[in-house]
Amino acid sequence: MNSSKREIRSKAFFGLGFLLVILWLGLFLPAWSLDFFQAWVFWLTFSTSTIIVTIYLLKKDIKLLETRTKAGPTAEKEKSQKIIQIFASIFFILLVILPGFDHRYRWSNVPLYLVITGDIFVLLGFVIIFRVFKENSFASGIIETDRGQKVITTGPYRFVRHPMYTAGLLLILFAPLALGSYWALLFAFLLFVIIVIRLLYEEKFLMKNLLGYKEYCEKTRHRLIPFIW
């Protein structure tokens, strides 16, 4: 393994490990208890899925893995997108920590079948993310185009123009249920608004900067949710 690949691998796994530790703390510290089975199932689902995806990218698409490690507010080129990413980060943090307080003070009473449903859809979100990465080596974590980039029309891109955002929508909308918190749905809704705003901006950017994207939009009518929008 050359030094560049070794550096990318180290950065990716360090970032992943840091994320999973922070996620664990964000779930269990507010709950002030390890007796929180909803959080354990969610954390294990999230952890296993992200590890599998990371290993896949390391073996099959190291360049995409490198671009994904550069995501976040500081990586964005436009000021508006930096602001959007900052708000997205804040809302996601609140979505993660609120269920712990909810569990601690018994604000919500989410039945087990909804918790299980939430976990199933969270897992489905990761399956879609995996399919997106498998089909699209240009699925950068920031809004940009790369040299040689082409419009992808296969896999989940046959059904919606932004399947990565569809996957994110499933994750954020069903995570509160998986974690047993109705109150966290408030931040899921705010994140949904952020996704729509970012999606519309990205479409304008791609229309202007990616050859063939306009024709793709005319053929694939739905942006985010199949048969709806």
For residue 3, give every residue at least 6 positions away whose Cβ sits within 8 Å of its Cβ, in sequence order, or none: none
Collapsed DSSP state (helix, strand, coil) of residue 78 = coil
Enter the tokens of residue 191. Answer: 């994140």
Nearest to 125 by CA among 45, 208, 28, 216: 45
Question: What is the extent of the structural domain holding 28?
Answer: 3-219
Which one of 61-70, 76-85, 161-170 scores highest in mean pLDDT?
161-170
- Phi, psi for residue 216 in degrees, rounded to 5: -65, -40
pLDDT tens-digit series, residues 136-175: 988 877 888 887 888 999 999 999 999 999 999 999 999 9
* pLDDT at position 33: 96
Residue 227 included in any domain: no
* pLDDT at position 1: 46
pLDDT tens-digit series, residues 19-65: 999 999 999 999 999 999 999 999 999 999 999 999 999 999 988 88
Cβ-contact 39, 115 below 8 angstroms? no
Residue 228 included in any domain: no
* pLDDT at position 68: 81
Other Cβ atoms less than 10 A from the Cβ of 176: the count is 26
Q: Residue 12, Cα to own-chain centre: how many angstroms?
A: 16
For residue 40, give every residue at least 6 positions away whose Cβ sits within 8 Å of its Cβ, in sequence order, or none: none
Residue 225 included in any domain: no
Cβ-contact 98, 181 below 8 angstroms? yes
Residue 122 included in any domain: yes
How far is the C-alpha of 137 from the C-alpha of 130, rounded, in Å?
Answer: 11
Q: Quote the number of domains for the chain.
A: 1
Banded pLDDT at 2 (limits 50, 70, 90): low
* Percentage of the chain lying above the pLDDT 90 cut: 75
Residue 86 included in any domain: yes
Torsion angle of C-alpha atoms 161, 90, 44, 112, degrees rounded to 10: -90
CATH number for the domain spanning 102: value is 1.20.120.1630
